[in-house]
Amino acid sequence: MNAIAALAGLGTALPSRRVTNEELSRSLDTDDEWIQSRTGIKQRFWSAGETTSDLAVEAGRNALSSAAMDTVDLLIVATTTPDHPCPATAPDVTSRLGLGTVAAYDIAAVCSGFVYGLASAAAHIAAGLAGSVLVIGAETYSTILDPDDRTTSVIFGDGAGAAVLRATAPGSPGCLLGFDLGSDGSLKDLITIPDGGSRQRTSRSGPTGTYFTMQGRPVFRHAVDRMTESAGAVLDKTGWSVESVDWFVGHQANARILRAVADGLGVKSDRVIIDLDRVGNTSAASIPLALARAATEGNLVPGDRVLLSAFGGGATWGSTVLVWPDISAL
């Protein structure tokens, strides 16, 4: 029987600069009450000079320590904010982690990037192409936010989360038991950085064309619908009932989105992990950061059944499930 990928280690990193809602309300037409009631976010961390690769290296090193491993066969970085448009960030991270010349590549699936990364790693392991993979979701959204756009600036934060996956026998704790992935490119304009790519190399309209833009309301609606469908689909595929799920760990976009998805699925609200109050929406880093916090605070314990689901620009979405293994997040 083929080997299956299991979670063997988890690590995180946050930049040093904490940015409160109150601080943002000094430069933007917003306030703490609006941000907390509409999103659930109390604060976020923004780069004080740390790059995406810096955060990825720190989270990756912590994940390797958590797994008590010093080598892997493949490294994947999921990010919307690579250090450069070219080359990918993953080879640099691999080199700086001292992992030698192993395969390394980036995934661009925006906020679904970590789940896409897990699926890619699991596929490498199932195909026998790798025995272990380091998957890192790392972001510095503060570098692409329009400082004058109150709808995006209050939502996004920087950070990184990393997971070591290792080939194991089916039935072991931590196994990723199935995936549901999808995309809908007709929604590509809902979340976009318009300029800087092959369609529009240089900015048409000054810096605004190179900033991240988002149509909040439709994104909200599609995020709820797709995460609910995708999470339901992966439960069907793996034969888990909703009642058997101990924790729903959704992409930390907005507390109202997470509550609506949980309601749609029939997951009780006290089974929903919330981390966005502390870090905002950290895109590809949000699920591993939320998992690490839940494990560190003692909510997520070995044997718990965990459902992960994400939605992001593209549009992309994806879900997976696992039984929580006996690991310490670092």
Which residues of this protein are in contact with ligand COA, per CB under 6 A?
30, 34-35, 38-39, 111, 150-151, 154, 214, 216-217, 219-220, 223, 253-254, 257, 281, 311-312
The nearest distance, CB 34 to ligand COA, in angstroms, is: 4
Which class for 155: exposed (0-12), middle (13-18), buried (19 or more C-beta within 10 A)?
buried
Radius of gyration of the chain (CA): 18
Catalytic annotation on 281? Answer: yes
- Give CA–CA dist 274/288, Å, rounded: 12
| Catalytic site residue from 62, 111, 222, 254 | 111
What lies within 8 Å, CB to CB, of 240 at 6+ separation is 305, 307, 321
The nearest distance, CB 138 to ligand COA, in angstroms, is: 16
Q: What residues pair up with 207 in beta bridges, in sequence order?
A: 205
Residue 163: enclosing H or E segment and its boundaries? strand 159-168
| Catalytic site residue from 124, 175, 251, 254 | 251
- Give CA–CA dist 117/279, Å, rounded: 21
Is residue 288 within 8 Å of 10, Cβ to Cβ? yes
Is the CB of 174 or the CB of 314 nearer to ligand COA? 314
Is the CB of 62 or the CB of 320 nearer to ligand COA? 320
Total number of residues shown for the chain: 330
| Catalytic site residue from 21, 62, 254, 281 | 281
The DSSP 8-state label assigned to residue 185 in this structure reads G
Catalytic annotation on 254? Answer: no
Q: State which residue has the least CB distance to ligand COA.
A: 216
Is the CB of 237 or the CB of 259 nearer to ligand COA? 259
Is residue 319 within 8 Å of 230, Cβ to Cβ? yes
Catalytic annotation on 84? Answer: no
Is the CB of 315 or the CB of 321 nearer to ligand COA? 315
- Give CA–CA dist 312/283, Å, rounded: 8
The nearest distance, CB 286 to ligand COA, in angstroms, is: 9
The nearest distance, CB 231 to ligand COA, in angstroms, is: 15
The nearest distance, CB 295 to ligand COA, in angstroms, is: 23
Is the CB of 217 or the CB of 268 nearer to ligand COA? 217
The catalytic site residues sit at 111, 251, 281
